[in-house]
Chain A
């Protein structure tokens, strides 16, 4: 399909969904208390993004997500590199990670509340916990994807261990790793917002949870739109970076 045609079809689809939704809400095809029209949701989204009080909640969520990510990314990647590259550690500890990775992390949330309270620290800790498994597993895969001959050649040119990590392992791992980093970020956001919805005094998740509980459907939808946009923007930024580091991979 031609690129312009493709865009046109996509826009038409979005217009059809929004139009259908608007019509369904306006003409009583759906219960307007359950499904507010998108135009009303749009008004609330606008009200959200111009209200400093609301933006504060968005800021709380953002700061938790970023803090969790900045803390966990280096740890997860280093651990994955160790497990992927060292036969000894890999054999001993990899199964542990694969097992725990398959458990839904949400079941541990009450433990995080007991251990860290209901504030910033708990949200960050839970976001990190959500993200670490996919980070480690993708870093293992990335470390194992590094061609052995590149390492041998670099060694033959006198590369020291740290030089191998910086000049060979890291760039060779990146194309596989950025995919994992992106997924880890999605898990991280999920973790933080989920923890906020469960119990919190501020943050996007707590707003969404409160609006849902109090049946403020238009506000609830606007919260969902903001949260979705927030995640999509972060995801697309990482995808942009992913495409850049993949350029040499032809």
Chain B
């Protein structure tokens, strides 16, 4: 349990092996009904290349935490370190973000959406088009590069969003309930797809989800957060082998892990 809150005091090389260090973040925000304590002294660190789940009840501040890690929101207290330096603004070359809504620009084709981050950085057209093709192939949508978002299904849109997040080859992928708006079947398929891509590219992933099954199935470790104000209740090691298979869901270990997380959330 020591690893939950206490960070090793500036241990040599710690920042090199840990892609993300969240250090004593607390956050209070103002609402019309008064100030609300959203996050309470959150600290954790994530070793490079790990797939980490973040679960907790609605409104526990998971999304705020993701926004802070993405450099899109400033914490009232504490800080986020990414690959050895403090995050104060978005760093698209280090961090890719996927939200619950695919949030594709509706007037752009799938390929144009994927290469949009490169366009913002003024990468030459030929180069970014080649990259977009490659990324769409990675998520199995090479046939759809010239389609507009309204011609794609919900699952396909989210694939495009994932391709867009991978486009700059960031070392970190932050995913805020990326499959939350999809049906169960699509959700399972995309989970497997994500794992397949992750095995190839070994990015550090922080994956927020409401589904405990999804958390256990996908992650190396699951951070369980409490009800507001959000704190880290526990950090659960998912001891299942990789690659994960559908059959693992029926095993006793899977059930026990899922059960442990559920008890933590419910007790709180």
Contacts and interface: CB of A to CB of B under 8 A. Distances in A.
Partners in one complex: yes
B116 A250 contact: no
A172 B105 CA distance: 8
Interface stretch (A17-25, A62-70, A77-85, A148-156): A148-156
B97 interface: yes
Contacts, number: 58
Interface residues of B, number: 24
Given A150-B103, A153-B97, A153-B99, A158 B117 contact: yes
A157 interface: yes
B246 interface: no
Interface string A229-250: 0000000000000000100111
A35 B92 CA distance: 71
Interface string B113-132: 00011011100000000000
Given A156-B90, A156-B97, A158-B92, A248 B116 contact: no
Max count, chain A CB within 10 A of own CB: residue among B93, B116, B148 = B116
Contacts of A163: 120
Contacts of B150: 248-250
B116 to A, nearest CB: 7
A26 interface: no
Interface in A136-154: 147, 149-150, 152-154
Contact of A157 (B106, B120, B148, B149): B120
A159 interface: yes
Q: How large is the interface on A (under 10, 10 to 19, 20 to 34, 35 or more residues)?
A: 20 to 34
A167 interface: yes
B106 A158 contact: no
Contacts of A152: 72, 99, 103
Max count, chain B CB within 10 A of own CB: residue among A154, A156, A168 = A156
B107 A171 contact: yes
Contacts of B90: 155-158
Nearest to B89: A158
Max count, chain B CB within 10 A of own CB: residue among A167, A172, A248, A249 = A248
A158 B148 contact: no
B214 interface: no
A155 B99 contact: no
Given A149-B99, A153-B97, A171 B105 contact: yes
A156 B116 contact: no
B91 interface: yes
Interface in A145-189: 147, 149-150, 152-159, 163, 167-168, 171-172
Contact of B92 (A156, A172, A248): A156
Given A156-B72, A156-B92, A249 B120 contact: no
B70 interface: yes
B101 interface: yes
A133 to B, nearest CB: 28
Interface of A: 147, 149-150, 152-159, 163, 167-168, 171-172, 245, 248-250
Interface of B: 70-72, 90-93, 95, 97, 99, 101, 103, 105-107, 116-117, 119-121, 148-150, 164
12 contacts: A150-B105, A152-B99, A155-B90, A156-B95, A157-B97, A157-B164, A158-B117, A167-B119, A171-B107, A172-B106, A245-B107, A248-B150
Q: In the A-B complex, list the 10 residue pairs whose CB atoms are closest, starting with the nearest.
A: A157-B117, A158-B92, A153-B103, A156-B97, A250-B150, A149-B103, A248-B107, A157-B92, A248-B106, A149-B101
Given A157-B97, A158-B117, A172-B105, 10 more contacts: A152-B103, A156-B95, A157-B92, A158-B90, A158-B121, A163-B120, A167-B105, A167-B116, A248-B106, A249-B150
